[in-house]
Amino acid sequence: MRNSNRAPICAVVALAIVTGAAAQAQTYDLQSVFGLNVPSIGPSPQLWADRVNEMTDGAVTINVHGAGDFVPPFEVFGAVSSGALPMGFDWIGYWAQQIPVANLVGSMPFGPSPDVALGWMFEGGGLEIIQRAYDPFNVKVLPCHLVGAEAGGWFNREINTAADLQGLNMRIAGLGGMAMARLGANTQLVPAGEIFLSLETGRIDAAEFSAPQLDVGFGFQRVTKYYYFPGWHQPSSWDSIIINMDVWNSFDERTQNTMTEACQANIAFNLGDQINSQAEAIATIRGAGTNVRRFPDDVLLALREASDAVLDEQAQQDPIFAEALESLRAYMSSVGEWSTLQALPAR
């Protein structure tokens, strides 16, 4: 008798739980600054959104949109800040005009390798420093995609000495662009979707965008003669999920932690994907007839000197940039001994 009564009671309770969960389920829009078909980086926010949805048992659904679906790519930060968009996905360095330290996190010339950048961000106090720069804009930042070392860029001019950079019209962003400018290059920021045409028409002589895995998909090898390494301007870099702070604060602590952990899973997945894909991409680039080269050491030394000067100048103009630079340099020095002790001789 007791067992027969329990079934309808349990059914009512289960229905109440399901109904309550459905009532609490929420949907949010997210716009990326990138097209969703861009290799590696394009699918990243969707992978994060899928993880969040699964880890919250469907309580949070995030509809991911590509560049330009709601606002132009370079207006995503402002839209998230104002609340016009609840969420965005970016390359952190795009917001350097509003947040100077974003330049450092987005592209520190001769900066940390990806593993050191990861350690500093989550264990070395980096995220706490950066968030204080975002707070006045009512934006929560979640580092969510760690980009490995980039290439040095695509060139239609051979680079043998630092003098060859003078008068070069180059698409290059961030602090690396400032360093290039100190050596006489004319730098500009061209949206990703316009780089190919700009190279093809001669509007620019050179361009950096990302690593071979991403670059090859844009077809830059069809309109340039040289592909230079290393990516001195961006040995590592961060893309992030940005969330309007009012939206972020509306989530309970468990959901906030879930979103953070989903980003950490994203970082691990994308690092593996990037390492796995570079060799094939470089082979494709060589097969198209592009010369794959390294910058001469003298050019790299000139770029390092120019970069150090740029970093010190920027630190004088913004206290949070200065704090982050000091912290990152100290962290790189302190953990650097580990890599030195573990270094194996070259074959």
CA distances from 117 to 128, 311, 328, 332 (A): 14, 17, 8, 9
Residue 209 is assigned to a ligand binding site: yes
Q: Which backbone phi and psi does 147 adopt, to 5 degrees?
A: -85, 130
Residue 122 is assigned to a ligand binding site: no
Distance (Å, rounded) from C-alpha 102 to C-alpha 213? Answer: 24
Distance (Å, rounded) from C-alpha 232 to C-alpha 236? Answer: 9
Residue 150 is assigned to a ligand binding site: yes
Residue 171 is assigned to a ligand binding site: yes
Rounded (10°) angle between helices 114-122 and 253-287 = 170
Structure tokens that stand for 120 in this block: 């500093």
For residues 93 and 106, the answer to whether their CB atoms sit within 8 Å is yes
Distance (Å, rounded) from C-alpha 327 to C-alpha 112? Answer: 12
* 321 Cα distance to chain centroid: 18
CA distances from 329 to 2, 129, 238, 325 (A): 70, 14, 17, 6
Residue 182 is assigned to a ligand binding site: no
Binding-site residue numbers for Na(+) are: 209
Binding-site residue numbers for substrate are: 150, 171, 208, 234
Binding-site residue numbers are: 150, 171, 208-209, 234
